[in-house]
Structure 1
Amino acid sequence: MSRRSSRPQGRPAPATPCPCGLPASYRDCCGRFHRGDSAAPTAELLMRSRFSAFSVGDDDYLLRTWHPATRPPHVDLDRTLRWVRLEVLETTGGSAFHTEGTVRFRAHYVEGGRAGQMDEHSRFARHEGGWVYVGAL
């Protein structure tokens, strides 16, 4: 998802299902990370919260959770894409006991009325106590 970005749609209503696909409301799932109430405790949850950030157009969160060594100066969200579904295919490491982890995922989107998907195997690391996105493998 580092190459394609989403159409900003604004924050979902608090009881709306979370875009990341977990069975919780946006408010209780990724919304808490986006608001800064807490930090994602695993690399997978960070990946899910970043997908949700693309989905709702939260470029500040994307930059905040990007490793400073690989972070771009800004994120230009593509208004022609709508991120609609996330599949987490595989994870390695990335728990409270690790300093690095990977997440392989498939992100589904709609662009110009056509469905598409992108696959990425992403690397995450702990930086200053929290998980951050490093880049695609």
Structure 2
Amino acid sequence: AQLHSSLTQTQRVEALAKFRRAEIDCLICTDLASRGLDIEQVHTVLNMHMPRTLKSYIHRVGRTARAGKAGRSISLVTEDDRKLLKEIVKSNADRAMKQRLVAPDVVQAYNDKIEGLEESIEKIEEDEKVEKQLRIAEQVRNRRE
């Protein structure tokens, strides 16, 4: 299932409920779900894109290993993410962190598969920006009332 701003609130709640009930094994989320979700039995968070800050990264990977339990975070890191990656490694110097480089031909094969999705992804990202602006405007309006 998926969880992003292009879905209605009802669709989001239903997707989340199915994931919580273990009716689905995988929930694909945008940053919409990076904070505030506390779902038991989440063992792995996969970051397709790194967030901009260490604080955001911590919130994202915090969806796993809740209440002191073990968990795993897998992050796909590009050259543009080097600064944040160094910060993450430095802040976790006392923990073992594994790393693996993916062969260029494998990266290219997956790149070819997802290339056609760019337009859909851009639409979802734009919808999320608009939704965020609407939420902020609504909060401002509610404060004034």
TM-score band, normalised by the shorter chain? under 0.3
Greater per-residue strand proportion: 1
Normalising by structure 1, report the TM-score: 0.25
Normalising by structure 2, report the TM-score: 0.24
Greater per-residue helix proportion: 2
The structure that has the greater radius of gyration is: 2
Higher relative CO (CA 8 A, sep ≥ 6), structure 1 or 2?
1
